Amino acid sequence: MFVPDMSCASCVVKIEKAFANAGVDARVNLADKQVSAAKGVSVADAQQILASAGYRGEVVEDAANAMADKAAHDAKEYRTRIIQSVVTLGVGIPLMIWGMSGGDMTVHSDSSRWNWGAVSLLCLLLLISCGGHFYQGMWRALKAKSANMDTLIALGTGCAWLYSSAVVLFPNWFPEGTRHVYFEASVMIIGLINLGHSLELRARGKTSEAVQKLIGLQANTALLITDAGDQQTPIADLKPGDVLRLRPGDRVALDGEVVSGESLLDESMLTGEPMPVRKTREDTVSAGTINGDGTLTYRVTVGPKDTRLAKIIALVQEAQTSKMPIGRLTDKIAGVFVPVVVVIALLAAVLWYFFGPAPQLSHALVVLTSVLIIACPCALGLATPMSIMVAVGRAAQMGVLIKNGEALQTASNVSCVVLDKTGTITEGKPQLVAIHAIDTDELDEARLLQAVASLELQSGHPLAQAFLNAAKARGVDVIAPAAFEYRQGQGIVGTIGDDHWLLGNRKLLTAMDVTVDQTAQQQLDNAATLGQTPVLAAKNGKLEAILAISDPIRGDAKAALAALQQQGKKLVLLSGDNQHTANAVAKQLGIEQVIAGVMPDEKQAWVKKLQQQGEVVAMVGDGINDAPALAAADVGVALGTGTEVAIESADLTLLTPRLENLAQAFALSKATLSNIKQNLFGAFIYNSCGIPIAAGVLYPFFGVLLSPVIAGAAMALSSLTVVTNANRLRHQRLQ
């Protein structure tokens, strides 16, 4: 739900408190001015809860429309604030220059009363037309028995105008030295704060660029194949089972499966993978990707709200509205900030009135107004959510989905990365990597591969596909075996043409009285050292060759893990595979600790054991068997090519299996936390120094009393500084 009147950190606290009192779980994001209530809460109830806190809410029903509406709302508000600031500053600046250049800013005669009376009416008109939203905000807050940033601004500018108008109307009520007017302060403050808000709106718009780009990937129409021919059809009217035509250069409308045709698709904006991906019959296509120069037809498999792109957009938006633990502390402080500031301002004014130098009343008014204006907690409220929005957006563009702000903060402290082997640091698809001939100078590899693939075609063994893929890649045709027998735990016995074949492990050959000599044994030992699975092939009672099967390590794995080690992270390989294979893979990648032969529950236990040793653990996996460990880890990282269960259990998802993005994600999390600390430090320092200075602590030593105009400019500048600093994350180099 979009809440346009939410303006500061105290607003966030009030809205959260209202929902909490109603027993409804809700997340509030000041940077995006959105409130997300728990499922099951009706729109009417949510709006009523918001109204009880003094705010109105606009329903967000569609992500694309909501983003467009917000952009239009921000653009309109930007134009309005610019106009308001130009008008008010156009009046305030000449008045300020008049006063600073020696002009008379006091009421001392009837003619000066008439002149300042006209200025009073003009300023009142400006306060209503250009600053009315502040007074409306204060009124809504008062009705809800609370206070916010609008309260401080309205009280500060209102006091300045009321005091000045009272001096004009009843000058005799005031001592001679206190008949000073502050009309320029009231309109200058309104002008400067409106200018600050407009600049903040412009800078804030950049933070949601990632989501805007993702939403921009969604097609609006598609070419539906019907009996009457191809028809351009709105996406909303399509349903699973419809067949669509994808022409060269077209964008895929909905997730689907290729029915016919062949083409290269650009999936870079969705996955971060720069190289186009070839798609042929039975391959899947994802909404938002762009077709190359081929033509495809594909069958729709899911509706518009269930596409991979739609889920990514939902995850990014959900993460952007989440909070970090560091941000919750800020909200608690901001919740009591405004009432405390009002009390400080009143106490400071009273002290100046009774104990300050002449003219006491004027000094008291200046202090009251300055404290109220400079203390607005905008910067404090924006410090955390702005950085989260930028970071989550940049991560999405890198091909990393971050589930929530808490995961982002925890990821910055990860000290140990636990990696699953199969499908995570290896391809997860066994391949035939070598054929070693035994006592045969001229082995006919094509004929050998034909026999092996033909026998494996009848087998359901997990390694069978490796031989079939190898035969297909080398153009070798498979034939039907004359005889076939599968022996559990040993292998295959079969007949191809006139030859009798054995295909399996050493147990099979021993059972069939086939000799494995010293040369063959050496090849078996070498395969074990390299983490390969050897398959022995014997023909007519003689060992012909040893075929080595291996799950190859991902091409970027070594560089990616080296980058993690450079960040000071401890690496642990956690695999259900045998110790020899796991050790061989770990040795190639420089991983020192290897835990092999573990079941899913044992993986989870090992993660907990590492946590008990003081490690902040990130678990990286892709399979169902990894889900318990992913859930138990401080930060679970799933590969987007893995199972839905793994992705749901994880805090971070790599949209592609490129492990190099993992080190980038950890670097981004650390940079984000640093950015937030910079924002919070700046905001706290600003308020810690600004309030005492506005209260007049420098006056006894230097004779300096902060002008309300300077206070207004400083407040606007502080918010703009926070937003600008957060946007640095969009281009910051990650190491």
Q: What's the rounded Cα separation, in Å, for the pair 697 and 690?
A: 10
Q: What's the rounded Cα separation, in Å, for the pair 359 and 168?
A: 17
For residues 64 and 32, the answer to whether their CB atoms sit within 8 Å is no
Q: What's the rounded Cα separation, in Å, for the pair 43 and 30?
A: 20
Q: What's the rounded Cα separation, in Å, for the pair 217 and 621?
A: 28
**What is the number of other CB atoms lying within 10 angstroms of the CB of residue 517?**
10
Burial group, residue 461, by CB count within 10 angstroms (0-12, 13-18, 19+):
middle
Which residue is catalytic, options 150, 242, 255, 420? 420
3-state helix, strand, coil in the chain (%, to 5): 55, 15, 30
Q: What's the rounded Cα separation, in Å, for the pair 71 and 505?
A: 65
Place of tokens 């199969």: 422
Going from the C-alpha of 347 to that of each of 65, 339, 371, the distances in angstroms are: 49, 12, 11
Q: What's the rounded Cα separation, in Å, for the pair 377 and 368?
A: 17
**What is the number of other CB atoms lying within 10 angstroms of the CB of residue 548?**
20
Rg from Cα positions in the chain = 35
Q: What's the rounded Cα separation, in Å, for the pair 345 and 403?
A: 42
Q: Is 517 a catalytic residue?
A: no
Q: Residue 346, SS3?
A: helix
Note every long-range contact of 174-180, with CB atoms under 8 Å and residues 24 or more positions apart, other chains counting: 174/361, 175/358, 175/359, 175/361, 177/358, 177/359, 177/362, 178/358, 178/359, 178/360, 178/361, 178/362, 179/106, 179/107, 179/108, 180/105, 180/106, 180/359, 180/362
Catalytic residues: 420
